[in-house]
């Protein structure tokens, strides 16, 4: 290994060892490959280890727009490349070879994705292989031309570096599996909480779904979006401290019973805060019953003083509460019931910008903020 390669590897270790999120890692590695190879674009295909069908999904792009939906390449179309453990250089492949045909077939698929993809040509492929299984493939190239001059030294250097890239990606995939298991455990716990009430089955998952929808519509970072979704799954944990007689009593409630109901966000936050890494989740849970005008609980926060995750959760929670049945009422219809109710509460109980974002995500007209309110503290 040359001194230049040693220097690159040392730089990579400093840059990528702390990175465990597979998307961030894939983008960083790919950007380095494109730059070091002197190319204009590239993409990273990662094997879907959990599906069992051997397909590959694009996990990162450089110089190309990331597809809006998950795009997969089946294993059969890539088969000639999967047995390679060294870089595949298109210009060195004879015409009609299975490897060249596979690369050209992949290009044809890419060209159907529109925009700059239709101009993308592949010069180099780097299969990342462990124990005869291709974990990922990095492809780099130029736009509008298939005439590439690839320096042999660059190929050899990148081939050596790709082995380290494989280790980084495997570590990130392992971390992703752990995170998935942890998410599934939280979802199962949320289901157990919801199962106490026959009218609330699936409630926490629904709130998490709509919270994530809003966060992604607002283009929040993936990590922040995930935190908000976890808070949504856990938002009712404080209800475990409230007796069934009070929790499921139809209105009207006594003042004492209403005060007990109002404590559940605080109790939930106290429980969650015992988990060291869940401090932000606990804050969101504590404040998801605050109202935009300051009339909510537990601290009477107003406007943007309410954490953004809590404001997102409040909109998602309110919508789900309206469209789901309760022992004392039928569910509201989405358009003529829940949407109109959210419109009337926007700017009063709910953040108007986040409410508007939610409406747009649902494909509804932007709400008109009303000074009136159908508010008051509800049991959800």
Other residues' Cβ atoms within 10 Å of the Cβ of residue 22: 21
Domain 195-362 architecture: Orthogonal Bundle (1.10)
Other residues' Cβ atoms within 10 Å of the Cβ of residue 245: 8
Express each pLDDT in 206-256 by its tens digit.
Answer: 999 999 999 999 999 888 999 999 999 999 999 999 988 888 788 889 999
Helices H / strands E in the chain, number of each: 14, 6
- Secondary-structure breakdown of the chain: helix, strand, coil percentages, each rounded to the nearest 5: 55, 10, 35
Express each pLDDT in 67-106 by its tens digit.
Answer: 766 678 888 888 888 878 788 888 888 989 999 999 999 8
Query: Could you tell me the pTM of the whole model?
Result: 0.69
Q: What percentage of residues in the chain have a pLDDT greater than 70?
A: 85
Q: Is the peptide bond before 298 cis (omega within 30 degrees of 0)?
A: yes
For residues 312 and 215, is the Cβ–Cβ distance under 8 A? yes
pLDDT value at residue 272: 95
Average pLDDT over residues 275-286: 94
pLDDT band at 2 (very low <50, low <70, confident <90, very high): low
For residues 144 and 40, is the Cβ–Cβ distance under 8 A? no
Sole residue written with tokens 């299975």: 98
pLDDT value at residue 4: 53
For the domain spanning 3-174, the CATH number is: 3.30.450.40
- DSSP H helices, the chain, are 3-16, 22-37, 75-82, 98-111, 152-194, 203-217, 222-234, 244-247, 255-262, 264-272, 279-287, 308-323, 340-345, 352-362
pLDDT value at residue 149: 61
Average pLDDT over residues 58-73: 81
Q: DSSP class of residue 219?
A: T
Sole residue written with tokens 């108007």: 352
Ranges of each domain in the chain: 3-174, 195-362
d(CA 267, CA 282): 10
Domains 3-174 and 195-362 share a fold: no
Cα dihedral 164, 78, 67, 155, rounded to 10, equals 40
At 233, list the tokens: 């799954």
Angle at 72 between CA 68 and CA 78, to 5 degrees: 140
Other residues' Cβ atoms within 10 Å of the Cβ of residue 276: 6
Express each pLDDT in 119-178 by its tens digit.
Answer: 888 988 989 888 888 888 999 998 877 656 666 656 777 777 777 788 888 888 888 888
Give Cα 269 to chain centroid, integer Å: 23
The count of residues in the chain is 380
For residues 103 and 88, is the Cβ–Cβ distance under 8 A? yes
Give Cα 187 to chain centroid, integer Å: 16
In angstroms, what CA-CA distances link 109 with 57, 106, 137, 189?
Answer: 13, 5, 16, 42
Phi–psi pair at 200, nearest 5 degrees = -110, 10
Express each pLDDT in 310-348 by its tens digit.
Answer: 999 999 999 999 998 877 678 888 878 899 999 999 999
Flag whether pLDDT at 376 surpasses 90: no
């Amino acid at each position: 290994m040359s001194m230049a390669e040693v220097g690159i590897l040392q730089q990579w270790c400093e840059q990528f060892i702390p990175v465990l999120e597979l998307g961030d890692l894939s983008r960083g590695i790919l950007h380095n490959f494109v730059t070091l190879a002197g190319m204009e674009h590239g993409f990273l295909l990662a094997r879907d280890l959990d599906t069992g069908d051997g397909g590959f999904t694009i996990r990162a792009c450089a110089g190309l727009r990331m597809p809006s939906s998950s795009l997969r390449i089946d294993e059969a179309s890539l088969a000639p490349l999967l047995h390679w453990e060294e870089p595949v250089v298109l210009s060195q492949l004879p015409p009609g070879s299975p490897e060249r045909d596979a690369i050209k077939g992949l290009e044809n698929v890419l060209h159907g994705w529109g925009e700059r993809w239709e101009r993308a040509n592949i010069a180099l492929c780097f299969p990342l292989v462990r124990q005869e299984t291709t974990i990922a493939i990095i492809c780099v190239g130029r736009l509008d031309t298939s005439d590439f001059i690839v320096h042999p030294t660059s190929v050899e250097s990148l081939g050596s570096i790709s082995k380290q890239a494989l280790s980084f990606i495997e570590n990130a995939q392992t971390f992703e599996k752990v995170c998935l298991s942890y998410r599934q455990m939280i979802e199962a716990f949320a289901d157990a909480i919801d199962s106490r009430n026959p009218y609330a089955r699936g409630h926490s998952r629904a709130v998490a779904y709509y919270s994530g929808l809003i966060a992604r519509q607002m283009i929040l970072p993936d990590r922040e979006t995930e935190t908000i979704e976890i808070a949504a799954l856990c938002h009712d944990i404080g209800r475990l401290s409230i007796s069934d007689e009070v929790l499921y009593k139809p209105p009207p409630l006594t003042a004492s019973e209403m005060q007990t109901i109002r404590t559940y966000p605080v109790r939930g936050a106290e429980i969650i805060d015992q988990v060291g890494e869940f401090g932000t989740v606990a804050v969101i849970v504590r404040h998801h019953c605050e109202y935009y005008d300051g009339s909510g609980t537990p601290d009477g926060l107003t406007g943007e003083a309410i954490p953004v995750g809590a404001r997102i959760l409040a909109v998602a929670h309110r919508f789900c509460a309206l469209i789901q049945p309760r022992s004392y009422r039928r569910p509201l219809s989405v358009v003529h019931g829940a949407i109109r109710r959210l419109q009337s509460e926007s700017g009063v109980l709910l953040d108007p910008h986040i409410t508007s974002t939610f409406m747009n995500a649902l494909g509804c007209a932007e709400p008109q903020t009303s000074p009136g309110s159908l508010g008051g503290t509800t049991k959800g």
